[in-house]
Amino acid sequence: MVQATKVEPFRGWGLLGLSTLAISLTLPGQTIGVSSFADHLTEDLAISATSLSTAYLIGTISGSLAMPTIGRWIDRTGVRKTMMLIASTFSVAVAYMGTVRHFWMLIIGFVGIRMLGQGALSLVGQTSIALWFDQKRGLAFGLSMTASAGLMSLGPLGLTLLIESFGWRWAWVISAACIFVVLVPATWRWMEDRPESLGQRPDGHAGLDDDAAAPTIHYTVREAVATNAFWLLTGVMVVSSALITGVTFHHFALMEAAGLTTAQAAAVFVPQMVGTVIAGFFWAWLTDRASAKFLLISCQASLLGAHLSYAWVEPGLGAAFYSLLLGVNGGSIRALASALYPKWFGTENIGAIRGVATAFGVGASAIGPLIIALGFRATGSYVTLNYFLALVPAVAMLASLLVQAPQKSSRDYRSTT
Rounded Cα–Cα distance for residues 247 and 371 (Å): 9
Mean pLDDT value across residues 257-267: 84
Mean pLDDT value across residues 61-85: 91
DSSP letter for 3, please: P
Least confident of 1-5, 202-206, 322-326: 1-5
pLDDT band at 208, cuts 50/70/90? very low
Cα-based distances in Å from 215 to 87, 208, 240, 248, 264: 33, 11, 33, 43, 53
Triad 19, 340, 356: Cα angle to 5°: 75
Q: pLDDT tens for residues 158-171?
A: 888 899 899 999 99
Spell out the alpha helix ranges (H) of 98-250: 103-113, 122-132, 137-166, 168-190, 221-225, 228-249
Q: Tell whether the model's pLDDT for residue 148 goes beyond 90.
A: no
Please report the pLDDT score of residue 295 as a whole number. Answer: 93
Rounded Cα–Cα distance for residues 15 and 376 (Å): 44
Please report the pLDDT score of residue 262 as a whole number. Answer: 75
Give phi and psi for 409, each to the nearest 5: -75, 155
- Among 49-63, 82-96, 197-211, top mean pLDDT goes to 82-96
Q: pLDDT tens for residues 211-223?
A: 444 556 789 989 9
Report the b/e string of 81-103 with b at 16+ CB within 10 A: bbbbbbbbebbebbbbbbebeee
Per-residue H/E/C for 37-52:
HHHHHHHHCCCCHHHH
Q: Tell whether the model's pLDDT for residue 172 goes beyond 90.
A: yes
Q: Tell whether the model's pLDDT for residue 113 goes beyond 70.
A: yes
Please report the pLDDT score of residue 289 as a whole number. Answer: 82
Percent of the chain with pLDDT over 70: 93
Q: Which domains are present in the chain?
A: 13-201+215-416 (1.20.1250.20)
List the one residue out of 16, 383, 6, 392 whose CA is nearest residue 191.
Answer: 16
Q: Are 140 and 132 in contact (CB under 8 A)?
A: yes
pLDDT greater at residue 205 or residue 340: 340
Please report the pLDDT score of residue 22 as a whole number. Answer: 95
User: What kind and span of H or E run contains 90?
Assistant: helix 79-97
Please report the pLDDT score of residue 416 as a whole number. Answer: 43
- Among 56-65, 281-290, 308-317, top mean pLDDT goes to 308-317
Least confident of 116-120, 137-141, 389-393: 137-141
Q: Are 134 and 202 in contact (CB under 8 A)?
A: yes
Percent of the chain with pLDDT over 90: 45
pLDDT band at 394, cuts 50/70/90? very high
Q: What is the dihedral of CA 184, 190, 196, 202, to 10 degrees?
A: -100
User: What kind and span of H or E run contains 212?
Assistant: none
Q: Are 192 and 15 in contact (CB under 8 A)?
A: yes
Q: What pTM does this model have?
A: 0.78
pLDDT band at 409, cuts 50/70/90? low
Rounded Cα–Cα distance for residues 354 and 221 (Å): 9
Average pLDDT, the chain: 86
Q: Are 221 and 356 in contact (CB under 8 A)?
A: yes
